[in-house]
């Protein structure tokens, strides 16, 4: 390092330059933050877009292939538009059972054995019932419980009475689902039955084709007509993602509708034969195998030709006869091979398989003979590509392009400080347990600041790890060596704020002939880089530019260093300053030492103990030898053994830090220089059982008979007699209603009783204050609720309340925290909008605060924070006097300590009569992090509306239910046990969220939407407050918002509901026409008005507000049996309007009509 000219101060110009440089550094740091933030956005957007496209194509294709399957009455497609379609079919094959009890004509329920954990029946579903020569297609009940699972068999409630009777055991029951896919823009979301299915879509369209591949163009409003819908044979799904600066990706999938137009249903109870020639191949890939077979050609019951083969069921599992549930469904009878994908299929395992075929009447064949096969994956996956990095504060964000291998299970990330990163466990920082096959990025939060790393990423499947990717490294400062992106790739984490290392200690200088020897211990900081030593013959150098530079010495953190400066002038005193520095260029404060080189100085060395010794027996030798080289009669060359004591007046023994036992320092004048006294050689050992545990530095100073002195080098010794430690067998826990109490254990593993005098706790929760300490749990040894202690503040136990811990025993420590609070510095009158407070630290605009005086509590919301005052959004409801408390929560113990970085240090007396005070090692109390609630949204008035804590900001129409949803991050990795929404119906229109009186409802996790969801009940002309509480399996909780609640207001609805669509009129008999339609999309529908005409004449209302009390009406179906009907003579037309709970009627619904009967008119 170069030496600059000495500077004694800073000029105004220099200060201005420093400020400018500081602003430049801040701007650079902000630029780095923005760069990393954009890199993270890139990860999220890429992953979200790819996942949305994959899920969309897979789900829509799979379910469309089953359109029409099992539909024996009415239309398959009831809606076919460019951006929406609705169809019916057995899309999931989840329920395939038989009647468990005989059903009689007129029954409105049937008994079926269901798999309670797997089988589902939803609103809008139909039941296909085939038995006793009869077939029915019956809707399930539209309101109330669809299925009663109490007891076995289960009861399924029907939406219409059975027309026929069916025998038990031989009657087949299947579910036929109604499915609607609808795309909305510009939001770019796909919904399935009004539930979010995928997002991030730039465009998605449905294209319809009839026989011969002729495309049919849907009307912009009505879509395809009823006749056109019946002619659909193919549907092409066109999907596009990206755009707006991101690359666009286009996807297309053509779906063959094999159940449309060519499968007239017949009442059939004859099962087909099973497939033959079942063979498993392609067994070398994890989670995959390929199955081939020959299809059956005849029915099993009579050998007749099989004309209605519909598909296959594949059953397989890891044990013979014990198969995974549900079976793998092949819904295309044309196929003779299928690649089965299942993450449960592991390499090196044997699996057992059988197949069945089924026909259009759901008759299933007998099973094929079971076969077995072994999966053996020996092919590693390809490496991911385009690994790049962006640095942030204390972190590095990686991105990559996924491996092209089809069986990737996840990814592993490796890190090193040099090129050629070893792909070994000790260099692995993330693996497939956290990085799934969908991962395209990772944030390394353990990166050390200012250290440039090299990263490599591998892909893994169920049995193999692939090769490493091209390595990413760089500092992003324009160096062309940055890889893979020159001048940009940055794997060098930033330090903020700048934190210098500890000082080197002890720093010692020892003079000898024309030289000075140095010894010190490097600081233990993990980013330590070196120690700069500067010197002068005038005074100690004041800074890193003062004096002359001796050198900058490296070495490892915590190492003992020895260096020498030679060619000095004897008799001159040299002043030395040592400055430790880290990789980021931060310098510690100086430490100093001086020495005088001398040709005539005595020579001394410590002969016991050896440096680095750990003493566990309580006995330690301490001795030295010395001689004066200018004495007559000295040996040539001198020897410690033969010349010990010659010319030496005394040897003084020292230890640092002082053990406080009155043993040292010690002065010895006889040549058997023994640090603990005595005149024998070797010296007797000293008793160190009363020393505190720790690291001690020993040294000795020799004085010759001419008064010259020399100090020996330091000897480092560890004393381990036992002391106070955190008990590793006691798990730290967070408990209490608001997670304000922390419990941990301490143990005394020494042979002496210990008395604890002080305790210091530090934590990283800025609003938390320490109020109570109990040792043991239940015995309060310190408490201060009026002025609780801040982080790092020393707590002293009173003389008569000092807790003791007997030898080799353990005790429990419980500490209780309260919220940071302040007090009113002036009284505040009712209606006041500005309050004067003792401190504004920790308060911010938008927060809810609570003023408390005795039992009087008032809530207020902060508008702004000034000097010594808080401005409120509205006036106080009551007056408060000087000294009243002001806090963030009404309950002072409502403070979240889960996830805190909590550290404890104790001072204790080991030998009471001497008053020896020991300091325990600082102990980190590991508190598992609580879950975190994010992204609270409500789907009214519009989908994905961000919830607000500001009253009167969000309005919802009266009588609308409000779907709400949140994301929850499982920080503790223990699993989320519950998420609940708490809501309060406020008819008084409070301006601050109430504290109590909330009703809670459990939220359900949606794997499709990766969020927790629930629908809050509708209200009318009121205000609703909502907050959320998530609890993990460690009983850790998170509340959102942390105080107060979200809020929305119900207002009068004057908007007519949307028209019901997809009206179908089916002639059943001369005097019966059945109507069905798709429900209005509004959430507050009370019913429907039904209008009818005759022979294309004017319409008249025939029924108002459809309710279940009318036996002819069930949900979105109506059976018109009016005596005025005569389908043999007249054409009867219909249209329907929706009516909401406010009485608003949908308009212009006459555009959506249907007719039945003898219809010669257009």
Residue 11 lies in a domain: no
pLDDT of residue 992: 87
Would you state the structure tokens that stand for residue 1136, as one six-digit string?
A: 């329907």
Please enumerate in sequence order all residues whose Cβ is within 8 A of that of 1092, keeping only pairs 6 or more positions apart, or say none.
1099, 1100, 1102, 1120, 1122, 1132, 1133, 1134
Residue 1014 has pLDDT above 90, yes or no: yes
Looking at residue 46, its pLDDT comes to: 46
Residue 1083, SS3 per DSSP: coil
Q: Are residues 849 and 963 in the same domain?
A: no
Instruction: Average the pLDDT over 4-21 and give the result.
Output: 53
Give the per-residue pLDDT at 402.
94
Could you tell me the two tokens for 241? 């993602």
- Average pLDDT for the chain: 82
Q: What is the pLDDT of residue 3?
A: 35
Burial tier of 1012 (Cβ tally within 10 Å: 0-12, 13-18, 19+) = buried
Q: The tokens of 311 are what?
A: 């598909």
Q: Are 1153 and 1064 in contact (CB under 8 A)?
A: no
Q: Residue 1100: what are its φ and ψ, rounded to 5°? A: -135, 150
Residue at 15 is within a domain: no
Q: Are residues 903 and 938 in the same domain?
A: no
Q: What torsion do the CA atoms of 1032, 1036, 1041, 1046 make, to the nearest 10 degrees?
A: 50
And the tokens for 929?
């992090």
29 domain residue, yes or no: no
Residues 6+ apart with CB under 8 A from 1115: 123, 139, 142, 143, 159, 1079, 1108
Find the CATH number of the domain harbouring 451: 2.60.40.10
For residue 902, what are the domain limits? 724-820+897-926
Written as six digits, the tokens of 318 are 């890891």
347 and 239, same structural domain? no
CA atoms within 13 A on the CB side of 591: 20
Domain membership of residue 231 (yes or no) is yes
Residue 477's CB: how many other CB atoms inside 10 A? 11
Question: What is the per-residue burial (b if ≥16 Cβ within 10 Å, else e) of 648-673?
Answer: bbbbbbbbeeebbbebbebebeebeb
Domain count, the chain: 9
Residues 1142, 1121 within the same domain? yes
CA distance 629 to 568: 19
* Same domain (yes/no): 188, 326: no
Residues 517 and 545 in one domain: yes
Residues 251 and 118 both lie in one domain: yes
Q: Please give the sequence-ordered ranges of beta strands (E in DSSP) within 446-527, or none if there are none.
A: 454-460, 508-512, 515-521
- Asked whether residue 37 is domain-assigned, the answer is no
**CA dihedral defined by 452, 458, 464, 467, rounded to 10 degrees?**
-90
Q: What is the CATH number of the domain that holds 912?
A: 2.60.40
- Report the pLDDT value the prediction gives residue 661, as an integer from 0 to 100: 75
738 and 809 both lie in a single domain: yes
Q: How far apart are CA 674 and CA 670, in angstroms?
A: 9
**Cα dist. 246→41, 43, 184, 242 in Å?**
11, 12, 20, 5
Query: Which band of pLDDT confidence, cut at 50, 70 and 90, is reported for residue 601?
Result: confident
Q: Are 1112 and 1118 in contact (CB under 8 A)?
A: yes
Inside any domain, residue 305: yes
- pLDDT over 60 (residue 365): yes
What is the rounded distance in angstroms from the CA atom of residue 632 to the CA atom of residue 6?
47
544-550, Cβ contacts within 8 angstroms, sequence gap of 24 or more? 544/579, 544/587, 545/3, 545/4, 545/5, 545/6, 545/7, 546/6, 546/7, 546/577, 547/6, 547/575, 547/577, 548/3, 549/1, 549/2, 549/3, 550/576
d(C-alpha 843, C-alpha 896), whole Å: 17
pLDDT in tens, 824-883: 989 999 889 999 998 887 777 777 888 888 888 888 888 888 888 899 888 898 899 998
What does the pLDDT read at residue 366?
93
One domain for residues 181 and 73: yes
Residue 568 has, within 13 A of its CA and on its CB side, a CA count of 26
Q: 30-34, 900-904, 1108-1112: lowest mean pLDDT where?
A: 1108-1112
Q: Residue range 179-208: average pLDDT?
A: 83
The residue from 256, 284, 303 where one domain ends is: 256
User: In the predicted model, is pLDDT for residue 264 greater than 60?
Assistant: no
Q: Is residue 379 part of a domain?
A: no
Q: Measured over all CA atoms, what is the biggest interatomic distance in the chain, rounded to whole angstroms?
A: 146
User: Are residues 395 and 475 part of one domain?
Assistant: yes
Given 1051, 1076, 1111, the domain boundary residue is: 1051
Q: How many helices (H) and strands (E) does the chain have?
A: 3, 83
Residue 43 lies in a domain: no
Cα–Cα distance, 306 to 273 (Å, whole number) = 9
Please say which residue of 1051, 1081, 1105 terminates a domain: 1051
Return d(Cα 595, Cα 713) in angstroms, integer.
13
Decide: 789 and 768 in contact? Cβ < 8 Å.
no
Contact in structure between 902 and 709 (CB atoms under 8 Å): no
Residues in the chain: 1162
Q: How many CB atoms lie within 10 A of CB 392?
A: 23
For residue 1108, is pLDDT > 50?
no
Neighbours of 695 (CB within 10 A): 11
Spatial CA neighbour of 1087 closest among 1134, 1140, 1136, 1147: 1140
Same domain, 91 and 131: yes
pLDDT of 45 higher than 70: no
* Residue 537 scores a pLDDT above 50: yes
Buried b (16+ CB within 10 A) or exposed e, 708-730: bbbbbbbbbbebebbbbbbbeeb
* pLDDT tens profile 787-808: 788 888 889 998 888 898 888 8
Per-residue model confidence (pLDDT) at position 93: 56
Residue 4: band (very low, low, confident or very high) from pLDDT cuts 50, 70, 90: very low
Asked whether residue 438 falls in the same domain as residue 331, the answer is no
For the segment 21-50, the average pLDDT, to the nearest whole number, is: 51
pLDDT band, very low/low/confident/very high, at 609 (cuts 50, 70, 90): very high
Predicted confidence at residue 892, as pLDDT, reads 63
């Amino acid at each position: 390092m170069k030496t600059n000219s000495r500077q004694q101060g800073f000029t105004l110009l220099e200060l201005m330059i420093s400020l400018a440089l500081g602003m430049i550094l801040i701007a650079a740091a902000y630029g780095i933050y923005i760069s990393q933030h954009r890199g993270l956005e890139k990860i999220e957007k890429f992953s979200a877009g790819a996942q949305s496209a994959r899920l969309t194509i897979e789900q829509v294709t799979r379910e469309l292939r089953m359109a029409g399957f099992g539909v024996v009455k009415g239309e398959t497609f009831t809606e076919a538009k460019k951006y929406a379609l609705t169809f019916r079919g057995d899309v999931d094959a989840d329920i395939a059972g038989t009647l468990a009890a005989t059903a009689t004509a007129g029954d409105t329920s049937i008994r079926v054995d269901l798999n309670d954990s797997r089988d589902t029946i939803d609103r809008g579903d139909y039941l296909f019932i085939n038995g006793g020569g009869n077939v029915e297609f019956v809707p399930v009940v539209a309101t109330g419980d669809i299925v009663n699972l109490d007891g076995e068999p289960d009861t399924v409630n029907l939406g219409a009475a059975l027309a026929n009777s069916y025998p038990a055991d031989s009657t087949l029951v299947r579910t036929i689902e109604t499915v609607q896919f609808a795309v909305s823009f510009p939001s770019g979301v796909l919904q399935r039955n009004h539930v979010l299915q995928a997002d991030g879509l730039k465009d998605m369209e449905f294209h319809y084709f009839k026989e011969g591949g002729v495309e049919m163009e849907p009307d912009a409003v009505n879509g395809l007509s009823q006749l056109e819908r019946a002619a659909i044979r193919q549907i092409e799904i066109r999907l596009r993602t990206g755009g707006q600066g991101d690359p666009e990706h286009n996807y297309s999938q053509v779906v063959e509708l094999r159940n449309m137009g060519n499968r007239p249903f017949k009442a059939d109870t004859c099962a087909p034969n099973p497939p033959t020639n079942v063979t498993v191949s392609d067994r070398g890939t994890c989670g995959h195998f390929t199955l081939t077979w020959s299809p059956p050609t005849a029915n099993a019951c009579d050998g007749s030709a099989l004309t209605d083969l519909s598909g296959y069921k594949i059953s397989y599992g890891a044990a013979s006869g014990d198969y995974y549930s549900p079976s793998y469904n092949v819904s295309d009878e044309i196929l003779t091979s299928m690649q089965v994908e299942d993450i449960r299929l592991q390499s090196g395992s044997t699996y057992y398989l059988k197949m069945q075929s089924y026909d259009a009447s759901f008759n299933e064949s007998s099973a094929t003979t079971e076969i077995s096969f072994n999966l053996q994956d020996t092919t590693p996956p390809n490496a991911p590509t385009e690994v790049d990095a962006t640095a942030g504060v204390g972190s590095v964000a990686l991105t990559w392009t996924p491996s092209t291998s089809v069986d990737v299970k996840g990814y592993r990330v490796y890190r090193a400080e040099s090129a050629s990163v070893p792909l070994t466990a000790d260099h692995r920082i993330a693996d497939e347990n956290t990085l799934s096959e969908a991962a395209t990025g990772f944030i390394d939060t353990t990166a050390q600041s200012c250290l440039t790393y090299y990263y490599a990423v591998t892909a893994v499947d169920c049995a193999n790890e692939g090769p490493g990717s091209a390595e990413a490294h760089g500092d992003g400062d324009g160096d062309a060596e940055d890889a893979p992106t020159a001048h940009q790739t940055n794997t060098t984490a930033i330090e903020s704020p700048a934190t210098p290392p500890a000082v080197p200690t002890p720093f010692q200088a020892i003079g000898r002939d024309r030289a000075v020897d140095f010894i010190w211990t490097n600081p233990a900081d993990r980013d330590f880089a070196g120690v700069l030593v500067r010197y002068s013959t005038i005074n100690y150098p004041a800074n890193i530019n003062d004096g002359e530079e001796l050198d900058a010495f490296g070495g490892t953190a915590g190492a003992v260093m020895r260096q020498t400066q030679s060619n000095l002038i004897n008799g001159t005193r040299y002043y030395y300053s040592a400055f430790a520095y880290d990789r980021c260029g931060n310098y510690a404060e100086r430490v100093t030492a001086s020495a005088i080189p001398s040709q005539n100085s005595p020579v001394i060395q410590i002969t016991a103990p050896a440096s680095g010794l750990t003493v566990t027996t309580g006995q330690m030798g301490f001795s030295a030898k010395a001689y004066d080289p200018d004495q007559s009669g000295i040996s040539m060359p001198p020897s410690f053994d033969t010349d010990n004591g010659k010319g030496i007046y005394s040897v003084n023994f020292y230890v640092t830090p002082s053990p406080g036992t009155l043993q040292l320092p010690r002065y010895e004048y006889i040549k058997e220089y023994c640090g603990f006294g005595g005149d024998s050689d070797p010296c007797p050992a000293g008793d160190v059982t009363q020393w505190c545990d720790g690291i001690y530095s020993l040294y000795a100073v020799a004085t010759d008979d001419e008064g010259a002195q020399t100090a020996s080098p330091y000897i480092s010794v560890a004393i381990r007699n036992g002391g106070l430690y955190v008990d590793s067998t006691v798990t730290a826990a967070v408990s209490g209603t608001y997670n304000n109490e922390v419990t941990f254990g301490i143990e005394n593993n020494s042979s002496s009783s210990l008395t604890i005098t002080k305790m210091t706790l530090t934590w990283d929760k800025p609003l938390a204050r320490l109020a109570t300490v109990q040792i043991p749990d239940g015995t309060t040894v310190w408490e201060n609720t009026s002025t609780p202690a801040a982080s790092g503040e020393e707590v002293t136990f009173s003389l008569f309340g000092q807790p003791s811990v007997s030898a080799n025993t353990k005790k429990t420590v419980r500490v209780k925290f309260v919220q940071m609070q302040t007090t009113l510095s002036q009284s505040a009158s009712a209606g006041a909008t500005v309050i004067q407070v003792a401190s504004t630290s920790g308060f911010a605009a938008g927060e809810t605060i609570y003023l408390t005086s005795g039992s009087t509590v008032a809530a207020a919301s902060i508008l702004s924070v000034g000097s010594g005052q808080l401005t409120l959004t509205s006036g106080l409801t009551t007056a408060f006097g000087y000294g009243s408390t002001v806090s963030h929560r009404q309950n002072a113990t409502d403070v979240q300590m889960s996830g805190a970085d909590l550290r404890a240090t104790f001072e204790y007396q080991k030998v009471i009569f001497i008053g020896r005070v020991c300091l325990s090692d600082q102990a980190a109390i590991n508190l598992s992090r609580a879950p975190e609630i994010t992204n609270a949204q409500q789907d009214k008035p519009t989908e994905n509306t961000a919830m607000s804590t500001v009253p009167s900001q969000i309005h919802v129409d009266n009588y609308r239910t409000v779907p709400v949803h949140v994301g929850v991050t499982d920080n503790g990795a223990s699993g989320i046990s519950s998420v609940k929404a708490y809501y309060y119906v406020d008819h008084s229109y409070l301006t601050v969220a109430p504290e109590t009186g909330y009703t809670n409802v459990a939220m359900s996790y949606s794997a499709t939407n990766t969020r927790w969801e629930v629908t809050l009940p509708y209200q009318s002309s009121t205000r609703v407050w909502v907050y959320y509480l998530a609890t993990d399996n460690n009983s850790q909780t998170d509340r959102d918002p942390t105080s107060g609640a979200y809020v929305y207001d119900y207002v009068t609805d004057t908007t007519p509901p949307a028209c019901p669509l997809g009206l179908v009129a089916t002639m059943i008999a001369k005097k019966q026409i059945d109507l069905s339609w798709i429900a209005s999309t509004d959430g507050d529908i009370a019913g429907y008005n039904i209008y009818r005409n005759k022979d294309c004449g004017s319409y008249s209302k025939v029924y108002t507000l459809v309710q279940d009390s009318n036996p002819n009406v069930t949900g979105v179906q109506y059976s018109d049996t009016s005596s005025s009907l005569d389908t043999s003579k007249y054409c009867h037309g219909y249209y329907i309007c929706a009516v909401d709970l406010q009485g608003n009627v949908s308009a212009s619904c006459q555009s959506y009509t249907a007719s039945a009967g003898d219809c010669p008119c257009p």
